[in-house]
Structure 1
Amino acid sequence: MTGTIVDLLLWVCTLGCALIAGLYFAFSTFIMAALGRIPAPAGIAAMQAINAVIQRSLFMPLFFGSTLASLVAVALSLWRWAEPGAAMMLAGGLVYFVGMFVCTVVFNVPLNNRLDAADPQSEAARDTWTRYLRVWTRWNHVRTLASTGAAGLFVLALVLR
């Protein structure tokens, strides 16, 4: 029975990480580039709208739920260290927590907050936007790679079990 619970947890982690990775991938590969091609006030307003909507969407339970599941995976991997796949489970959980969650909280959210406080029509907002596009996207690449890597590590943990 406990093995089934661990397997279910690994599937939840895999799918949660993969869904988050897909969203971040879209932002890294074309959404931010598209927003950067339009006039700054429109790009700022669009990103402000995205930030407002995403906080009230199904993204938030997925974001926090997948983070919690990854931390449970870390704890279970240590508790069941002798079992096959435990090291991959530990690695997946740590990569996801640090590379996705901590990165988001420390880098992307403060940048979002600064952008949300900006008046899209002001000259200062244009400078904020130029920096935001570069720095936010760079940290989003990190989140994309961490989420994708964690999903792969959780798949490997499942295969090894």
Structure 2
Amino acid sequence: MLNIALVLFVVGNSLISGIFFIFSNTIMKALKESAPKHNCQIMKDINRIIINPAFMLLFLTTPLLAVFLLFSSSFASLFLNLATIVHIIGVFGITVTQNVPRNNRLEKTDDYWKTYLKEWTFWNHIRTISAILSTIFAVLYLL
């Protein structure tokens, strides 16, 4: 059971890393350079569309797997413990406390766009790095 959970965690974390990376590397840069009257609405549309069953299953299941792995593994498993803690705090925690509130604020007012772009992108970089590190730690545990 632990091995299945670990594989699912690595796959989920890898997919999340990719999603967050594409925002940092491409989407937010494109929105920054696009016409100001459209970019805010495009981001609002993205924020609504990304809340779909596939993404939510991935986003909510991966931290649950992290908690399961954290409490099922030996405390001597440094890399696995790091992988799970980094995911819970740096991926899930940052999303819930930093990115989602900014999405909600943007939905209410277009005037927030310029500030949103800087702040949301900064926190997305942090959660992208966290997701990548978490995946690396989990893979190192497997080696």
TM-score, reference length from structure 2: 0.95
Report if aligned partners of 1:103, 1:139 keep a CA contact under 8 Å in 2: yes
**Is the Cα contact below 8 Å between 1:48 and 1:115 reproduced in 2?**
yes
Q: Does residue 1:111 correspond to 2:107, yes or no?
A: no
Q: Does 2:88 match 1:97?
A: yes
**Paired residue for 1:133?**
117
Q: Aligned residue for 2:139?
A: 155
Alignment of 1:24-103 (within 5 A): 24-77=20-73, 80-81=74-75, 86-103=77-94
CA distance in 2 between counterparts of 1:81 and 1:109 reads 32
Q: What is the aligned length?
A: 143
* Runs of at least 4 residues off by over 4 Å: none
Residue-by-residue CA offset, 1:24-47 (whole Å, 9 max, x unaligned): 000001100101111222101100
The CA distance in 2 between the partners of 1:20 and 1:88, in whole Å, is 19
Tell me which residue corresponds to 1:18: 14
Q: Note if contact 2:14-2:135 (Cα within 8 Å) is conserved in structure 1.
A: yes
Moved more, 144-153 or 33-42: 33-42
Can you list the C-alpha shifts for 1:95-140, whole angstroms capped at 9, x where unaligned? 000000110111000100011112x4xxxx2xx1111111100000
Computed over aligned residues only, the root mean square deviation of the Cα atoms, in angstroms, reads 1.1
Q: Which amino acid aligns with 1:158?
A: L
Contact 1:17 1:150 in 2 (8 A): yes
Paired with 2:51 and 2:132, the residues of 1 have a C-alpha distance of 22
Task: Decide which structure has the larger Cα Rg and report it.
Answer: 1
Counterpart for residue 144 of structure 1: 128
* Contact in 1 for aligned 2:75/2:81 (Cα 8 Å): no
Q: Is the 8 A contact 1:10 1:155 kept in 2?
A: no
Percent identity over paired residues: 34
8 Å contact kept, 2:79–2:137: yes
The structural deviation recorded for 1:56 is 2.1
3-state SS of paired residue (2:95): helix
d(CA) in 1 for partners of 2:2, 2:136: 16
2: distance between equivalents of 1:140 and 1:32?
10
